[in-house]
Structures are given as structure tokens and as C-alpha cells.
Structure 1
């Protein structure tokens, strides 16, 4: 198939790589270079880096909507199909209708659950026992198109969003190849989504990452792993921001106020929650790197009975 590929972040890279090895990727569309890091140096997207390595033409429009120039560029490639993987822009109707096989999107959830920007994170935050990818024919709504193929995996209770991201990115590439083969052979029956079962996975922000210690140990554990590696769940210890990367649910109970540090050892920091006790294993305080509690307490003090919570 002759493909126009649209994608931007790391998640899209395995898909582009797989498609470039098995099909004719005529062009890549990705987001414009953005300032990154402390120096705010302009950086290209991971998809652009791979496309340049493979000598695939790259286009970086600020917007697709009401952009006739972009429409004409895509049309000039005469794609059989447009493949979209975490591109970051909504495709207008005239582009959706352009290719012979339409536009296919790889979405990192088991649709219709977790439509939207952050399906991997919210599936973990909400304590789902399985996750996966869905390929779909794109429609004008947000992740509302007819479903093509699905691939699901069972979730370990300690997997974090970064680990699940890498697994789904890799498996998604294979699902895409299977989807294109199925469309070409005309043996996939598109299945409409049941909108009444849909849920929305909103964008993440640093502001939403503060821990509510009144929640149960299990809910807080899910929150911590769902926000690792970004934006990272946090609380405050003696007015310093305490980022928490790794935790574990214990079988302990506590009558202490939620947020109270009840024990500090090489195993970690035990904190009383609204229900149960959580063991915090990996932390980061200001001006230091993320480290395991067993390493941190070698040269630093963490007080038992301290109350974690909001900045005073």
C-alpha cells in the first residue's frame, strides 16, 4: 500500500518503522519542531528523526484544518491509505475522505473506553485489569470511528504508564500491519462503537498530579504508577515537593491521620491512607535525582509522624 503516515511522539515510532519495512510510505506528517529542555532548543519529533533516517519526505504543518495547501500536498501523493498514530491534530473531513481505504488510526485503548489524549495513563489510574490497542477507521469525532482490530493484554498490578506505553507501542505496530493486510484482503468487518460505553481520557497536567491521602492505598498506588514517568505524582514533606515514582500496597492498617508517615526503613516509607497503608519506594526531593528510599536515608532524615500533604 502507498501510505501517508501522520504521527509525532515516541509511541508512533515502532508503527512508522514497521510500515516503512513492509509498505511504501510516501510521506510523513508530524508536528512542527518545538522548544525543549532548559535551553529551549528547537527539537524535532521522534517521528521526524526516523523519517529523515529513512529518507522519507517530512511535512510539518501548524494546522490541517482550512489549509488547502496541505490538502493539495497530501492529494499529490495519491495515498491508498492515511495511517495516524498519536499525531496530535484532528483531521478535517476532506482529508478523511481522500484515500481509497480511508484513514486508519491506532489508539492505545480498548475502545470505546478511554477516547482522548491519555488512555494509557487513565487505564492505570483507574485500576483497569487489562489494556490494549484498537485500530479504527477515522471519523470526524474524537476517536469515534468504526473499530477494525483489537489487541488486549492483562495488566500487572505494579506496571507503570511508561512500561505500558512501550509494550503497546510495540504491539500496536504489529496490529497496524495486520489491519492493513486485512483491509487489502477485504476480510475485516468494521464494527461501530457503542457510544453509551465510551469514557474519556483527558490530558494530564502537573496540577492534577497532587496526591489525595484520603483515598485508599490501592487508589493512590494506581495514581502513582499512572503518572510515571510524567507528570509524576507528588505531595509535600516539610514544605518541600516530594515526587513519588514507585510504591506498593501493603496489607497493613492504620488509625493515623491520612498522609502520616508511620515507618521509615530501607524498604521504604509507610504512609497511612484513607484506607490501608502504602509503601513508598522511590522518591525525589528538590535538587536531587529520583532515588530509592533505601539510598536516600543513607545521608538524609525522614521523620516518622511527619504529615505529608499540601504546601503550607
Structure 2
């Protein structure tokens, strides 16, 4: 081969990587949209998209396509929605065979919500890569964004992981950090990490063999688990320090949301100010100290100084937005000018 031929061969792009994408909610849809837009630049071809079966949603309980499915349909990409991949079922066996027909080089998984057995993970030539919303091995599991906020973490991030048979235990190909700001909610942090995840997977796909060759094993001794959220976690225990409750309000926004009770009626606590310093009070936990235009001051439990481990006087929380039963969200100023809350009222942790 002469020099001209050699130079020409170097400019001819290799065959596009055949990609199957698997995901369900908005977090995954963000990554899918980004990959669709960059197919030519990344030299990939998204040959199929997998998503959870349509679910009933809204007041009318109509069957609704997932966010990922809607993106795929808009891009005219084939969509598969198996209920299982288990080889113990006829449907699972058929789902595996269908996946094989796409001849995937790699499968990208993001918040899919369906367990992929080892037999499925081994179908793509380069295996399956997961876009995980934490800096593994911290916060393996279903709710890493919420758990990071609830724990008071100051940073989180995205890990692109080579999936194995364990729960988020696979080797790490790429990690990128994201600061957690004092006003971040689960919703705002979700959006930041969704964008970061889309960027991170694109980075890895630019040179997949290199990233896989440099994969790093996780330290299982450093691992902890982000358990799935349950609705009851939204109930506020006013004997907890204000800082803990403030993280609960942000970490559970929008779902399941933080809530309390006033005269037996549920009240949603939508937003509060950051707890930068302890404001002591002698009022019982849950007592409304004052209803002001900027904030509603509520007595909470004793705060633990993390440096000295000395418990101070009871702490206070400054609530800026509430939603009373049957009503719309209202600001502290609106509450101040209304008659739904007075100084001395008592929030309780359960009805009655």
C-alpha cells in the first residue's frame, strides 16, 4: 500500500457502533436525545430502544408511553417493551432472542427499571453500560439523587459503569463530579445529573475500548445503598434538628414531598430557607414561633454541632412555602396576610 492509500485508509470511518438504549423516565430520555443528535459525530447507530411497558397515568388513568419511548418514536427508532428477560418465562426467552436480532455492539442503560440477567448483559459485544447518578460506590441502588440530598452530601456526580450481575457493583469506566448547592432539590439535582449523564456517556462512546481497558473496580467496603423511596418518608418529625428537616424538604421534592399536620389536616411543606446557623428556641418542637412575610419560623429538635458533638438548644426552621389541604401553594407572605396559620399553632407528626 502506498502512502496515499495509507492516508486514505486512516480517514475512512470505522463501521458505526450498533447501540441499543434501555431506559424509562426523563433522566434517561435526556441521554437518549443527546445520543440521537450525536449519532454521526460519535459514529454510532441507535438500532433499538427498550423501555418499560406503558403505564396508567394522570387523572384519567390512561395508558401513557414513557419519556424514553416518546423520544424514540419521534426519532423513528424501533421500541421494545418486554415485561421481563427471565429465561424461566416464555416472554423472557422471546425478549432475549429479539435483542439478539439487533446485533448490538453495546447496550446503554439508564434508569430502565427492569432487571437485566447476566445472560442479557452478555448479548452485546461490549456488554452493557449504565449511567448511574452517583459517584460509585456511594449510593448504589434506586434513589441515589434523593439519598445524597437527605444525607447532606456536598457533591455527587455520574458514574458510567460496566454492568455485572450485582446491584450497581460493576467496574467504573468514567466518573464526573457535580456540586450539590444549598438550594438544590431532588428535581433540580435530577436535571443537572441528567445533562451530566448525557455528556458522560457520549465521552465514553468516543473511545469505548480505551475506557473499558482502564476500568476501575469498586471498593465494596466503601459502598452504601440508596433504598427506594416510600411515601411515609415525607412525614416530618419536628423533634429532628432543623437542618435534617430542611434536607428532607429539598430531598423529597417533588416526590413524595415533605408534609406535616395542622388540626388533623395534612399540610405540605414545599420550601424553606437553608439552615446556616442555629437559632435557639425554648418552644416545643413543631410550634409555630412566628408567621412572618419572609418566613414562617417553626421550632424543631436540638441540633448537633458536628465539630464538637455538643447539642445546642432546640433549632428553628424558616419555611417559605406551604400548601394547605385542598389549596394551592402559598408563600410565607400570603400565609402572613391570611388566617390559616397563627403564632403558637402546633404542627404534629400525625393526624389528631
> Smaller-chain TM-score range?
over 0.9
Q: After superposing the two structures, state which structure 1 stretch, 156-165 or 291-300, moved more.
A: 291-300
- The TM-score, its normalising length taken from structure 2, stands at 0.86
Which protein has the larger Cα radius of gyration, Structure 1 or Structure 2?
2
Q: Which residue pairs with 2:12 in the alignment? A: none
Q: Distance in 2 between matches of 1:166 and 1:245?
A: 18
Q: Which of 292, 301, 305 matches 1:265?
A: 292
Q: Which residue pairs with 1:45 in the alignment? A: 66
* 1:64 correspondence with 2:85: yes
Residue 187 of structure 1 deviates from its aligned partner by 6.8
Work out whether residues 284 and 299 of structure 2, in 8 Å CA contact, stay in contact via their aligned partners in 1: yes
Q: Runs of 5+ in structure 2 lacking a partner?
A: 1-16, 303-314
Q: Which residue pairs with 1:311 in the alignment? A: 351
Q: Distance in 1 between matches of 2:213 and 2:155?
A: 24
Residue 215 of structure 1 deviates from its aligned partner by 1.0
Q: Which of 164, 171, 178 matches 1:139?
A: 164
Residue 291 of structure 1 deviates from its aligned partner by 2.3
* 1:295 correspondence with 2:334: yes
What are the superposed Cα offsets for residues 61-83 of structure 1, whole Å, 9 maximum, x if unpaired?
A: 11122211111111000010000
1:101-140 equivalent positions in 2, closer than 5 A: 101-140=126-165
What are the superposed Cα offsets for residues 60-109 of structure 1, whole Å, 9 maximum, x if unpaired?
A: 11112221111111100001000000000110111111111110000001
Residue 41 of structure 1 deviates from its aligned partner by 1.1
Work out whether residues 182 and 188 of structure 1, in 8 Å CA contact, stay in contact via their aligned partners in 2: no
Secondary structure of the residue that 1:175 maps to in structure 2? helix
After superposition, the CA RMSD in angstroms is 1.3
What are the superposed Cα offsets for residues 236-291 of structure 1, whole Å, 9 maximum, x if unpaired?
A: 11111011111122642111111111010111210111121110111111111222
Secondary structure of the residue that 1:27 maps to in structure 2? strand
* 1:33 correspondence with 2:54: yes
Q: Which of 177, 181, 185 matches 2:206?
A: 181
Q: Distance in 2 between matches of 1:170 and 1:251?
A: 35
Q: Distance in 1 between matches of 2:141 and 2:330?
A: 32
Q: Which residue pairs with 1:82 in the alignment? A: 107
Q: Distance in 2 between matches of 1:97 and 1:2?
A: 15
Residue 295 of structure 1 deviates from its aligned partner by 2.1
Q: Runs of 5+ in structure 1 lacking a partner?
A: none
Q: Which residue pairs with 2:263 in the alignment? A: 238
Q: May I ask how many residue pairs the two structures share in their alignment?
A: 312
- The TM-score, its normalising length taken from structure 1, stands at 0.97
Q: Distance in 1 between matches of 2:210 and 2:300?
A: 54
Q: Distance in 2 between matches of 1:59 and 1:13?
A: 15
Q: Distance in 2 between matches of 1:210 and 1:240?
A: 13
Q: Which residue pairs with 2:181 in the alignment? A: 156
Secondary structure of the residue that 1:124 maps to in structure 2? helix
Residue 185 of structure 1 deviates from its aligned partner by 4.3
Q: Distance in 2 between matches of 1:27 and 1:199?
A: 33
Q: Which residue pairs with 2:21 in the alignment? A: 5
Q: Which residue pairs with 1:18 in the alignment? A: 34
Q: Distance in 2 between matches of 1:212 and 1:44?
A: 37
